[in-house]
Amino acid sequence: MTHQLPGLDADEIERVRQPLARASTLPPAAYTNDDVFARETEAIFRKSWLPLARTDQVAKPGDYLSMDLLGQPIMIVHGHDGQIRVMSRTCLHRAAQVAEGAGNRKLFTCPYYAWSYDTSGQLVRAPLMEGAEAFAEPGCRLPQFRMEIWQGFILANFDANAAPFAPQVKTFETYFEAFRLNEMAVVRTLEFDSHWNWKVLVENFMEAYHHIAVHPETFEPAYHARDSRIPDNDGPWSILHMPAAHSEMPPGLPPVEGLEDWQARDLFASVLYPHFLLGIQGSVLTWYQLFPEAAGRLTLRIHICVPAAYTAFEGFDLIAEEISQMVTAIHLEDIGANDTVWKGLNAPMTGQGRLSPLEKAIWQYNQWWLEQMLPEGGT
């Protein structure tokens, strides 16, 4: 039996599944079709480990950070018992939100009826509920998400039966072990509203081929597109290694102690599927956090991270601002590229394109995407 995806036929799927030397891109409907996005939400997003924050963003007991995830208001809370939790922030009474933004609290008190929860999500006070039969505060707790902490990142999963995250990315973790990602801290966050499909951004992030046209004066002189390479993967991840074109160390902060010269100079882009994007260079970790909202819309937060100890350096704020300006400049160049791709994907005469060998990471990703999206046993 042949199974299909909305707007994708069997021939299009087969072109994607070809070996890299003969493979084509995903067809336009994979990006533009609302039914495809709905299926992604259920088959991928709600079954994947999604990065929410770094532990340094909720460093002290009582610290919390709130956000919306796939329509679910959540908060990441550092409990007064020392545990970090991811939980709903919707009151169990009449569904108002018990927290917004970020801060530090001992209690989360609903602004509607003053029900109060402690930092473990336990209801501790529900005023004027006398006479409500079979109701007891100890029996009420805000729903909790399954979570993991990996390399300083707090991840959560809607699927209680999902396989643990860390074992799936062991090879990836070993590849970047010398960079000591767990010691990084967020020092700047940039936010962009993006009016294209989330995979357009992921694909752009995961290849250097576009350096020759999109970044001719920024990335291409420093990291030649033709020299980029992508190792084979053994799990839900891809790595793009961009060797430096010059032997000089990059300016700015000193590299992480213990890196070999090539590790300190070269640039790496990586994706932990589906959209956990990390750029790594020297002592700077750039985390692109995606919040897909519709087939043609997402919110992007770019978190700039450095080793926590570096924030004490003299003049650090100026250096951090310079890094932020560089990251912004590069992303503005990418916005122009993604805008024109999105226009083309929505044009009626657009079909599938052929992948370059330099786009191996896109090919790796597309194979995984099809595996998740097609019904079991589908073709």
Same domain, 122 and 246: no
Q: What pTM did the predictor assign?
A: 0.95
Reported as a single tens digit per residue, the pLDDT across 59-86 is 999 999 999 999 999 999 999 999 999 9
Same domain, 20 and 64: no
Reported as a single tens digit per residue, the pLDDT across 79-122 is 999 999 999 999 999 999 999 999 999 999 999 999 999 999 99
Cβ neighbours around 298 below 10 Å, total: 21
Give the residue numbers spanning the domain of 296. 10-47+166-373
Same domain, 67 and 206: no
* Residue 324, token pair as written in the block: 């932020």
Same domain, 91 and 27: no
Same domain, 151 and 174: no
What's the total number of domains in the chain?
2
**Would you say residue 179 lies in a domain?**
yes
- Residue finishing a domain among 157, 177, 196: 157
**Would you say residue 4 lies in a domain?**
no
**Would you say residue 63 lies in a domain?**
yes
Q: How far apart are CA 223 and CA 279, in angstroms?
A: 14
% of the chain beyond a pLDDT of 90:
95
Same domain, 110 and 27: no
Same domain, 186 and 332: yes
**Would you say residue 1 lies in a domain?**
no
Same domain, 116 and 176: no
- Buried b / exposed e over 193-223, threshold 16 CB at 10 Å, is ebebbbbbbbbbbbbbbbbeebbeeebbebb
Same domain, 368 and 258: yes
What CATH number corresponds to the domain at position 87?
A: 2.102.10.10
